[in-house]
């Protein structure tokens, strides 16, 4: 099958052919119709993350926002059959037995396998997946639109869920990129009043198109005074990986508010403990999502046709170029590869 292969960390992707995988017991073979390109793919390819670099397989097929159709099933697979449309997320497999799995926090599973990191992902014509961890996609959702929900959408959904955001509360999303514009839409669907902060006018325009009740451009100077005039935010979700975004975000919180950490800044962020204590603020961090989170998100999206990721489709052969463009910060919206398109 065709693939865009990462032969070694730090090397450009190579367009080549590898053996089509065969499904083993409990596994399915999925024809990849769409695979989103996530910033994590770039970080894995470049070896940026010390925690994942040692466990990243090479050669590796990247890609963990995989959507397609089951074409073959291995021994003992029930509940999923050839012809089913499924998504394969970052969390490829979890043990179900470790203390974290038992606590319902399988994203922390000690033995987890990660799609497009410790096992091959979706930058290829086919992917092998665990039947237990592939999610059936609702009919209302196009395959290309489903792909980015499997990481970007899931990540913001879990973060908002963990933050305790309630209907009628105020949410501020800082950084309106791939994750941020989905967070605006999911926040609206959860019944919140949603505000967007970014440095770029086109991103703020996107936030407004996604239903934001108000937007603030922080390029010209701090915007916390304007945000405080609204009463402050019950939840501030930082989808940006910028240290400056985090430094400002605490000032947007209402007393008793929650800072939801999603974007990963490369350097440590100083936080005022005086501010934390006087606000009784909470900080919650969130890492992708569990199967339960994914089922809830897909249901939410099925019931709210307004939640749709802004995507641009490209052929699989464009994968090396897409990573380069991402490295140069040239991409707007989510790129979805269509290996059979």
Instruction: Provide the 3-class DSSP secondary structure of residue 325.
Output: helix
Residue 92 φ/ψ, nearest 5 degrees: -75, -40
Q: Is 98 in the site for Zn ion (CB under 5 A)?
A: yes
Contacts with Zn ion, 108-127, as mask; x by CB under 5 A = -x------------------
Stretch that binds Zn ion, among 54-62, 98-106, 274-282, 333-341 (CB under 5 A): 98-106
What's the closest the beta carbon of residue 95 comes to Zn ion, in angstroms? 4
Q: Is 95 in the site for Zn ion (CB under 5 A)?
A: yes
Q: Which is nearer to Zn ion, 154 or 223 (CB)?
A: 154
DSSP conformation letters of 47-66: T--TTTGGG--SSEE--S-E
Q: Which is nearer to Zn ion, 86 or 101 (CB)?
A: 101
DSSP conformation letters of 143-199: HHHHGGGGTHHHHHHHHHHHHT--TT-EEEEE--SHHHHHHHHHHHHTT-EEEEEES
Q: Is 6 in the site for Zn ion (CB under 5 A)?
A: no
Between strands 27-36 and 66-73, the pairing is: antiparallel
Q: Is 38 in the site for Zn ion (CB under 5 A)?
A: yes
Q: Is 189 in the site for Zn ion (CB under 5 A)?
A: no
Q: Is 206 in the site for Zn ion (CB under 5 A)?
A: no
Q: Is 179 in the site for Zn ion (CB under 5 A)?
A: no
Of the candidates 70, 151, 245, 259, which one interacts with Zn ion according to CB under 5 A?
A: 151
Q: Is 52 in the site for Zn ion (CB under 5 A)?
A: no
Instruction: Provide the 3-class DSSP secondary structure of residue 124.
Output: strand
What's the closest the beta carbon of residue 65 comes to Zn ion, in angstroms? 6
What's the closest the beta carbon of residue 141 comes to Zn ion, in angstroms? 18
Q: Which is nearer to Zn ion, 95 or 113 (CB)?
A: 95
Residues 175/240, Cβ–Cβ less than 8 Å? yes
H/E run at residue 274: helix 273-279
Residues within the interface to Zn ion (CB under 5 A) = 38, 40, 94-95, 98, 101, 109, 151
């Amino acid at each position: 099958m065709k693939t865009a292969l990462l032969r070694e960390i730090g090397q450009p992707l190579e367009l080549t052919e590898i053996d089509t995988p065969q499904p083993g017991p409990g596994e399915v073979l999925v024809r990849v119709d769409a695979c989103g390109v996530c910033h994590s793919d770039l970080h894995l390819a470049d070896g940026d993350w010390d925690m994942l670099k040692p466990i990243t397989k090479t050669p590796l097929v990247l890609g963990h926002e995989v959507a397609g159709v089951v074409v073959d099933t291995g021994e003992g697979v029930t509940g999923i059959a050839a012809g089913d449309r499924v998504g394969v997320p970052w969390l490829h497999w979890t043990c179900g037995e470790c203390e974290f799995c038992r606590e319902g926090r399988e994203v922390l599973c000690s033995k987890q396998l990660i799609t497009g990191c410790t096992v091959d992902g979706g930058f290829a014509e086919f992917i092998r997946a665990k039947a237990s961890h592939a999610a059936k996609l609702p009919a209302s959702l196009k395959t290309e639109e489903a792909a980015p929900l499997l990481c970007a959408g899931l990540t913001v959904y879990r973060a908002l869920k963990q933050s305790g955001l309630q209907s009628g509360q105020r949410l501020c999303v800082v950084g309106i990129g791939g994750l941020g514009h989905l967070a605006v839409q999911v926040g609206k669907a959860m019944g919140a009043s949603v505000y967007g902060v970014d440095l770029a006018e086109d991103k703020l325009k996107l936030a407004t198109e996604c239903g934001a009740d108000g937007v603030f451009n922080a390029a010209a100077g701090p915007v916390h005074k304007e945000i405080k005039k609204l009463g402050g935010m019950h939840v501030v979700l930082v989808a940006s990986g910028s240290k400056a975004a985090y430094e400002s975000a605490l000032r947007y919180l209402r007393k008793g508010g929650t800072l939801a950490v999603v974007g990963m800044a490369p350097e440590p962020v100083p936080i005022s403990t005086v501010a934390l204590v006087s606000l009784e603020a909470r900080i919650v961090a969130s890492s992708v999502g569990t199967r339960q989170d994914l089922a809830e998100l897909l249901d939410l999206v099925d019931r709210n046709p307004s939640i749709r990721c802004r995507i641009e489709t490209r052929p699989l052969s464009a994968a090396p170029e897409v990573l380069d463009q991402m490295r140069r910060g040239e991409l707007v919206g989510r790129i979805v590869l269509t290996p059979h398109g």
